[in-house]
Protein backbone atom coordinates (compact mmCIF):
# COMPACT_ATOMS: atom_id res chain seq x y z
CA UNK A 1 0.00 0.00 0.00
CA UNK A 2 2.80 2.41 0.89
CA UNK A 3 5.38 2.67 -1.85
CA UNK A 4 9.12 2.92 -1.30
CA UNK A 5 10.49 6.42 -0.64
CA UNK A 6 7.00 7.75 -0.34
CA UNK A 7 6.19 10.38 2.26
CA UNK A 8 4.25 8.86 5.09
CA UNK A 9 2.60 10.64 7.98
CA UNK A 10 2.12 9.02 11.38
CA UNK A 11 0.59 10.55 14.46
CA UNK A 12 -1.03 9.38 17.66
CA UNK A 13 -3.58 10.70 20.12
CA UNK A 14 -4.02 9.31 23.62
CA UNK A 15 -7.48 8.03 24.52
CA UNK A 16 -7.65 9.74 27.87
CA UNK A 17 -10.97 11.55 27.76
CA UNK A 18 -12.88 13.82 25.51
CA UNK A 19 -11.08 15.54 22.68
CA UNK A 20 -10.99 19.26 23.32
CA UNK A 21 -10.51 22.48 21.41
CA UNK A 22 -6.73 22.24 21.85
CA UNK A 23 -6.66 18.81 20.23
CA UNK A 24 -8.88 20.04 17.43
CA UNK A 25 -7.01 23.22 16.56
CA UNK A 26 -3.54 21.98 17.45
CA UNK A 27 -3.76 18.55 15.87
CA UNK A 28 -6.93 17.27 14.24
CA UNK A 29 -7.37 20.11 11.75
CA UNK A 30 -3.84 19.54 10.60
CA UNK A 31 -4.37 15.76 10.39
CA UNK A 32 -7.38 16.32 8.19
CA UNK A 33 -5.48 18.65 5.85
CA UNK A 34 -2.53 16.28 5.51
CA UNK A 35 -4.82 13.55 4.18
CA UNK A 36 -5.19 15.58 1.01
CA UNK A 37 -1.53 15.36 0.04
CA UNK A 38 0.06 12.41 1.84
CA UNK A 39 -0.55 8.84 2.97
CA UNK A 40 -1.44 9.06 6.64
CA UNK A 41 -1.66 6.71 9.59
CA UNK A 42 -3.56 7.95 12.65
CA UNK A 43 -3.40 5.90 15.79
CA UNK A 44 -5.33 5.88 19.04
CA UNK A 45 -2.37 5.26 21.32
CA UNK A 46 -3.90 3.09 24.04
CA UNK A 47 -0.54 1.57 25.05
CA UNK A 48 0.62 5.06 25.92
CA UNK A 49 -2.55 5.69 27.91
CA UNK A 50 -1.78 2.95 30.47
CA UNK A 51 1.55 4.48 31.49
CA UNK A 52 -0.57 5.95 34.28
CA UNK A 53 -3.29 3.70 35.69
CA UNK A 54 -6.55 3.72 33.76
CA UNK A 55 -9.82 2.19 34.79
CA UNK A 56 -10.45 -0.55 32.14
CA UNK A 57 -14.10 0.35 31.57
CA UNK A 58 -13.21 4.00 31.10
CA UNK A 59 -10.31 3.12 28.84
CA UNK A 60 -12.56 1.07 26.56
CA UNK A 61 -15.00 3.96 26.36
CA UNK A 62 -12.25 6.47 25.70
CA UNK A 63 -10.73 4.44 22.86
CA UNK A 64 -14.10 4.49 21.07
CA UNK A 65 -14.64 8.14 21.98
CA UNK A 66 -11.34 9.14 20.44
CA UNK A 67 -12.10 7.06 17.35
CA UNK A 68 -15.46 8.82 17.03
CA UNK A 69 -13.62 12.13 17.48
CA UNK A 70 -11.22 11.27 14.67
CA UNK A 71 -14.09 10.55 12.29
CA UNK A 72 -16.20 13.50 13.37
CA UNK A 73 -13.29 15.89 12.83
CA UNK A 74 -12.97 14.66 9.26
CA UNK A 75 -10.45 11.83 9.18
CA UNK A 76 -11.43 9.58 6.31
CA UNK A 77 -10.90 5.87 6.89
CA UNK A 78 -10.93 5.25 3.14
CA UNK A 79 -7.93 7.53 2.69
CA UNK A 80 -6.04 7.13 5.94
CA UNK A 81 -5.33 4.22 8.24
CA UNK A 82 -7.17 4.63 11.54
CA UNK A 83 -6.58 2.05 14.27
CA UNK A 84 -5.68 1.52 17.90
CA UNK A 85 -2.11 0.85 18.91
CA UNK A 86 -2.60 -2.23 21.10
CA UNK A 87 -4.18 -4.14 18.21
CA UNK A 88 -0.89 -4.23 16.28
CA UNK A 89 1.61 -6.14 18.40
CA UNK A 90 4.54 -4.74 16.42
CA UNK A 91 4.40 -1.54 18.50
CA UNK A 92 5.29 -3.43 21.66
CA UNK A 93 7.81 -5.66 19.92
CA UNK A 94 9.71 -2.86 18.24
CA UNK A 95 9.51 -0.80 21.39
CA UNK A 96 11.48 -3.49 23.26
CA UNK A 97 14.17 -3.54 20.58
CA UNK A 98 14.36 0.25 20.69
CA UNK A 99 14.58 0.20 24.50
CA UNK A 100 17.88 -1.55 23.87
CA UNK A 101 19.03 1.09 21.37
CA UNK A 102 17.93 4.15 23.35
CA UNK A 103 20.18 5.37 26.21
CA UNK A 104 19.37 6.05 29.85
CA UNK A 105 21.08 9.41 29.48
CA UNK A 106 18.69 10.32 26.67
CA UNK A 107 15.67 9.32 28.74
CA UNK A 108 16.85 11.39 31.66
CA UNK A 109 16.69 14.51 29.57
CA UNK A 110 13.00 14.12 28.70
CA UNK A 111 11.23 17.09 30.21
CA UNK A 112 7.74 15.65 29.91
CA UNK A 113 8.65 12.72 32.18
CA UNK A 114 9.97 15.15 34.77
CA UNK A 115 6.76 17.17 34.57
CA UNK A 116 4.46 14.16 34.67
CA UNK A 117 6.30 12.22 37.35
CA UNK A 118 6.83 15.34 39.43
CA UNK A 119 8.21 14.83 42.91
CA UNK A 120 7.01 11.28 42.95
CA UNK A 121 9.55 9.95 40.45
CA UNK A 122 10.34 6.78 42.40
CA UNK A 123 6.72 5.77 42.17
CA UNK A 124 6.16 6.53 38.48
CA UNK A 125 5.68 3.48 36.25
CA UNK A 126 8.66 2.28 34.24
CA UNK A 127 6.32 2.59 31.26
CA UNK A 128 6.01 6.32 31.81
CA UNK A 129 9.80 6.57 31.83
CA UNK A 130 10.30 4.70 28.53
CA UNK A 131 7.16 6.16 26.93
CA UNK A 132 9.28 8.14 24.40
CA UNK A 133 10.85 4.88 23.17
CA UNK A 134 7.36 3.51 22.50
CA UNK A 135 6.54 6.69 20.62
CA UNK A 136 9.68 6.19 18.52
CA UNK A 137 8.55 2.61 17.86
CA UNK A 138 5.12 3.85 16.69
CA UNK A 139 6.73 6.05 14.10
CA UNK A 140 9.57 3.80 12.98
CA UNK A 141 7.40 0.68 12.76
CA UNK A 142 5.88 2.24 9.64
CA UNK A 143 9.06 4.02 8.54
CA UNK A 144 7.02 7.20 8.74
CA UNK A 145 8.73 10.29 7.37
CA UNK A 146 6.53 13.08 8.78
CA UNK A 147 4.98 13.45 12.21
CA UNK A 148 2.49 16.21 12.99
CA UNK A 149 2.84 17.02 16.68
CA UNK A 150 2.31 19.86 19.08
CA UNK A 151 5.47 21.60 20.19
CA UNK A 152 5.39 19.79 23.55
CA UNK A 153 6.23 16.61 21.64
CA UNK A 154 9.18 18.05 19.75
CA UNK A 155 11.72 16.64 22.17
CA UNK A 156 10.22 13.16 21.86
CA UNK A 157 10.45 13.40 18.12
CA UNK A 158 14.09 14.44 18.27
CA UNK A 159 14.66 11.37 20.40
CA UNK A 160 12.96 9.23 17.75
CA UNK A 161 15.41 10.63 15.20
CA UNK A 162 18.36 9.86 17.50
CA UNK A 163 17.11 6.32 18.01
CA UNK A 164 16.62 5.81 14.25
CA UNK A 165 20.11 7.11 13.55
CA UNK A 166 21.74 4.98 16.24
CA UNK A 167 19.90 1.88 15.03
CA UNK A 168 21.02 2.54 11.44
CA UNK A 169 24.62 3.09 12.61
CA UNK A 170 24.87 0.26 15.14
CA UNK A 171 23.54 -2.28 12.68
CA UNK A 172 25.26 -0.77 9.66
CA UNK A 173 21.93 -0.39 7.90
CA UNK A 174 22.32 2.93 6.18
CA UNK A 175 18.98 4.73 5.73
CA UNK A 176 16.99 1.75 7.01
CA UNK A 177 14.86 3.91 9.25
CA UNK A 178 14.13 7.32 7.74
CA UNK A 179 14.73 10.16 10.21
CA UNK A 180 11.19 11.42 10.89
CA UNK A 181 10.52 15.12 10.46
CA UNK A 182 8.22 17.03 12.80
CA UNK A 183 5.34 18.92 11.23
CA UNK A 184 4.58 21.64 13.71
CA UNK A 185 1.82 24.09 12.90
CA UNK A 186 3.31 27.53 13.02
CA UNK A 187 0.07 29.43 13.25
CA UNK A 188 -1.20 27.78 16.37
CA UNK A 189 1.02 25.18 17.90
CA UNK A 190 -0.56 25.38 21.34
CA UNK A 191 -3.96 26.22 22.69
CA UNK A 192 -3.65 27.25 26.33
CA UNK A 193 -5.84 26.63 29.36
CA UNK A 194 -8.74 29.06 29.79
CA UNK A 195 -7.79 29.42 33.48
CA UNK A 196 -4.04 29.87 33.07
CA UNK A 197 -2.56 31.19 29.84
CA UNK A 198 0.85 29.71 30.61
CA UNK A 199 -0.41 26.12 30.73
CA UNK A 200 -1.46 23.99 27.77
CA UNK A 201 -5.17 23.16 27.45
CA UNK A 202 -5.24 19.61 28.71
CA UNK A 203 -7.56 16.70 29.35
CA UNK A 204 -5.81 16.08 32.64
CA UNK A 205 -6.55 19.51 34.10
CA UNK A 206 -8.91 19.12 37.08
CA UNK A 207 -10.97 22.14 36.11
CA UNK A 208 -13.58 21.66 33.40
CA UNK A 209 -13.48 25.41 32.93
CA UNK A 210 -9.90 25.19 31.69
CA UNK A 211 -10.94 23.66 28.38
CA UNK A 212 -13.69 23.43 25.77
CA UNK A 213 -14.58 19.84 24.97
CA UNK A 214 -15.72 19.03 21.46
CA UNK A 215 -18.91 17.63 22.99
CA UNK A 216 -19.75 20.78 24.98
CA UNK A 217 -23.14 22.30 24.31
CA UNK A 218 -23.62 25.87 23.13
CA UNK A 219 -24.52 26.96 26.64
CA UNK A 220 -21.49 25.30 28.14
CA UNK A 221 -19.23 26.98 25.60
CA UNK A 222 -20.72 30.42 26.33
CA UNK A 223 -20.37 29.87 30.05
CA UNK A 224 -16.77 28.69 29.83
CA UNK A 225 -15.69 31.55 27.58
CA UNK A 226 -17.45 34.03 29.83
CA UNK A 227 -15.53 32.66 32.81
CA UNK A 228 -12.23 32.43 30.92
CA UNK A 229 -9.49 34.36 32.65
CA UNK A 230 -8.48 37.68 31.08
CA UNK A 231 -7.19 40.94 32.47
CA UNK A 232 -8.77 44.33 32.96
CA UNK A 233 -7.22 46.09 29.95
CA UNK A 234 -9.11 46.33 26.66
CA UNK A 235 -7.86 44.67 23.48
CA UNK A 236 -4.65 46.40 22.40
CA UNK A 237 -3.63 47.71 19.02
CA UNK A 238 -0.31 45.96 18.59
CA UNK A 239 0.76 42.33 18.88
CA UNK A 240 3.74 43.40 21.01
CA UNK A 241 1.34 44.73 23.65
CA UNK A 242 0.21 41.17 24.29
CA UNK A 243 3.58 39.89 25.42
CA UNK A 244 2.74 39.88 29.12
CA UNK A 245 -0.90 38.98 28.71
CA UNK A 246 -0.93 35.20 28.10
CA UNK A 247 -4.68 34.73 28.66
CA UNK A 248 -5.60 37.59 26.34
CA UNK A 249 -3.16 36.31 23.73
CA UNK A 250 -4.61 32.81 23.92
CA UNK A 251 -8.21 33.91 23.32
CA UNK A 252 -7.17 36.19 20.49
CA UNK A 253 -5.13 33.39 18.94
CA UNK A 254 -8.07 31.01 19.05
CA UNK A 255 -10.31 33.60 17.42
CA UNK A 256 -7.73 34.32 14.71
CA UNK A 257 -7.26 30.67 13.90
CA UNK A 258 -10.97 29.91 13.74
CA UNK A 259 -11.68 32.88 11.50
CA UNK A 260 -8.73 32.02 9.20
CA UNK A 261 -7.15 35.31 10.10
CA UNK A 262 -3.99 36.22 12.00
CA UNK A 263 -3.33 38.11 15.19
CA UNK A 264 -2.79 41.42 13.40
CA UNK A 265 -6.09 41.01 11.57
CA UNK A 266 -7.96 40.21 14.77
CA UNK A 267 -6.42 43.17 16.61
CA UNK A 268 -7.40 45.47 13.74
CA UNK A 269 -10.94 44.29 14.10
CA UNK A 270 -11.17 44.20 17.88
CA UNK A 271 -8.79 46.83 19.24
CA UNK A 272 -10.21 49.00 22.01
CA UNK A 273 -13.05 46.58 22.72
CA UNK A 274 -13.64 45.12 26.16
CA UNK A 275 -13.06 41.45 26.59
CA UNK A 276 -16.71 40.92 27.48
CA UNK A 277 -17.72 42.03 23.95
CA UNK A 278 -14.93 40.08 22.29
CA UNK A 279 -15.90 36.98 24.24
CA UNK A 280 -19.35 36.98 22.66
CA UNK A 281 -17.83 36.97 19.20
CA UNK A 282 -15.37 34.30 20.26
CA UNK A 283 -18.15 32.08 21.63
CA UNK A 284 -20.01 32.41 18.33
CA UNK A 285 -17.07 31.22 16.21
CA UNK A 286 -16.24 28.39 18.61
CA UNK A 287 -19.86 27.23 18.63
CA UNK A 288 -20.15 27.24 14.86
CA UNK A 289 -17.01 25.18 14.38
CA UNK A 290 -17.20 22.84 17.37
CA UNK A 291 -20.86 22.02 17.92
CA UNK A 292 -21.43 20.18 14.62
CA UNK A 293 -18.42 17.99 15.48
CA UNK A 294 -19.74 17.32 18.98
CA UNK A 295 -23.12 16.29 17.57
CA UNK A 296 -21.42 13.92 15.12
CA UNK A 297 -19.36 12.37 17.94
CA UNK A 298 -22.51 11.72 19.95
CA UNK A 299 -24.16 10.14 16.94
CA UNK A 300 -21.18 7.90 16.16
CA UNK A 301 -20.80 6.86 19.78
CA UNK A 302 -24.24 5.28 19.71
CA UNK A 303 -22.98 2.72 17.20
CA UNK A 304 -20.11 0.99 18.96
CA UNK A 305 -19.98 -1.92 16.53
CA UNK A 306 -19.46 0.52 13.66
CA UNK A 307 -16.52 2.15 15.44
CA UNK A 308 -15.02 -1.25 16.26
CA UNK A 309 -15.38 -2.26 12.62
CA UNK A 310 -13.50 0.87 11.49
CA UNK A 311 -10.68 0.11 13.93
CA UNK A 312 -10.49 -3.52 12.79
CA UNK A 313 -10.19 -2.50 9.16
CA UNK A 314 -7.43 -0.06 10.09
CA UNK A 315 -5.66 -2.73 12.11
CA UNK A 316 -5.53 -5.03 9.09
CA UNK A 317 -3.98 -2.33 6.92
CA UNK A 318 -1.53 -1.20 9.60
CA UNK A 319 -0.49 -4.79 10.38
CA UNK A 320 0.42 -5.38 6.78
CA UNK A 321 3.03 -2.60 6.80
CA UNK A 322 4.12 -3.26 10.38
CA UNK A 323 4.77 -6.96 9.98
CA UNK A 324 6.85 -6.48 6.86
CA UNK A 325 9.01 -3.81 8.52
CA UNK A 326 9.30 -5.73 11.77
CA UNK A 327 10.47 -8.81 9.89
CA UNK A 328 13.29 -6.74 8.37
CA UNK A 329 14.19 -5.33 11.78
CA UNK A 330 14.40 -8.80 13.28
CA UNK A 331 16.69 -9.96 10.51
CA UNK A 332 18.91 -6.90 10.92
CA UNK A 333 19.14 -7.42 14.68
CA UNK A 334 20.11 -11.05 14.18
CA UNK A 335 17.07 -12.95 15.39
CA UNK A 336 16.63 -16.34 13.78
N1 LIG B 1 3.03 11.24 22.88
C2 LIG B 1 2.02 11.83 22.06
C3 LIG B 1 1.16 12.79 22.92
O4 LIG B 1 1.02 12.59 24.09
C5 LIG B 1 1.12 10.80 21.45
C6 LIG B 1 1.87 9.87 20.56
C7 LIG B 1 2.17 8.57 20.80
C8 LIG B 1 2.40 10.19 19.27
N9 LIG B 1 2.84 8.02 19.75
C10 LIG B 1 3.01 8.99 18.80
C11 LIG B 1 2.42 11.33 18.49
C12 LIG B 1 3.65 8.95 17.59
C13 LIG B 1 3.08 11.29 17.27
C14 LIG B 1 3.68 10.11 16.82
O15 LIG B 1 0.62 13.72 22.38
- pLDDT tens per residue across span 62-102: 999 999 999 999 999 999 999 999 999 999 999 999 999 99
Distance 10 CA to ligand 1 centre (A): 9
* Cα separation, 25 vs 190, whole angstroms: 8
Angstrom CA distances, 245 to 67, 94, 120, 189, 236, stand at 36, 44, 32, 18, 10
Distance 190 CA to ligand 1 centre (A): 15
* Cα separation, 84 vs 49, whole angstroms: 11
Element (H, E) at 225: helix 218-227
Count Cβ atoms within 10 A of the Cβ of residue 232 and give its class: 0-12 exposed, 13-18 middle, 19 or more buried. Answer: exposed
| Pocket perturbation via mutation, ligand 1, pick of 23, 24, 43 by most ligand atoms within 8 A of CB | 43
How confident is the model over 184-214, as pLDDT tens digits?
887 776 899 999 999 999 988 899 999 999 9
In this predicted structure, the answer to whether residue 3 has a pLDDT above a threshold of 60 is no
Q: What percent of the chain has pLDDT over 70?
A: 98
pLDDT-based confidence at residue 6 (cuts at 50, 70, 90): confident
Residues 315 and 88 sit within 8 Å (Cβ to Cβ): yes
* Cα separation, 235 vs 246, whole angstroms: 13
2-6, 20-24, 244-248, 291-295: least confidently modelled range: 2-6
Ligand 1, atom 8: closest residue by C-alpha: 12
CATH superfamily of 8-189+304-333: HUPs (3.40.50.620)
Ligand 1, atom 14: closest residue by C-alpha: 11
Question: Three-state DSSP class for 196?
Answer: coil
pLDDT score recorded for residue 18: 85
How confident is the model over 12-23, as pLDDT tens digits?
999 988 899 999
* Cα separation, 320 vs 41, whole angstroms: 13
* Cα separation, 292 vs 48, whole angstroms: 29
Q: Which residues line ligand 1 (CB under 6 A)?
A: 10-12, 14, 45, 48, 135, 138-139, 147, 149, 153, 156
CATH superfamily of 208-298: Tyrosyl-Transfer RNA Synthetase (1.10.240.10)
The mean of the pLDDT values for the chain is 95
Q: Tell me if the pTM is above 0.85.
A: yes
Question: Three-state DSSP class for 76?
Answer: coil
Distance 150 CA to ligand 1 centre (A): 9
Distance 93 CA to ligand 1 centre (A): 17
- Cβ neighbours of residue 132 closer than 8 Å, sequence gap 6 or more: 102, 107, 110, 112, 113, 155, 156, 159, 160
* Catalytically annotated residues: 116, 200, 203
Relative orientation angle of helices 154-170 and 126-141, to the nearest 10 degrees:
70
| Pocket perturbation via mutation, ligand 1, pick of 8, 12, 202 by most ligand atoms within 8 A of CB | 12
| Pocket perturbation via mutation, ligand 1, pick of 19, 45, 154 by most ligand atoms within 8 A of CB | 45
Atom of ligand 1 nearest to the CA of 48: 7
Atom of ligand 1 nearest to the CA of 150: 15
Where are the domains positioned within the chain?
8-189+304-333, 208-298
In this predicted structure, the answer to whether residue 28 has a pLDDT above a threshold of 70 is yes
Ligand 1, atom 13: closest residue by C-alpha: 11
Amino acid sequence: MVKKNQKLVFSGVQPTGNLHLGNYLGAMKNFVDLQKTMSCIYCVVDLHAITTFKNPTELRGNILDTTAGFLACGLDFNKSIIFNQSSVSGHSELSWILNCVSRVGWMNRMTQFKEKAGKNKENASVGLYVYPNLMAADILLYKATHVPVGDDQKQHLELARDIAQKFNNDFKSVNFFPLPEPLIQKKLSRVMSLRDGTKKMSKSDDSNYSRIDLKDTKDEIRKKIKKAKTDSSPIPEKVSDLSNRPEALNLLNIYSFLTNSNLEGTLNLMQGKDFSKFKEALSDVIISSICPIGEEINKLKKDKSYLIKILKEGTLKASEIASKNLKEVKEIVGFV
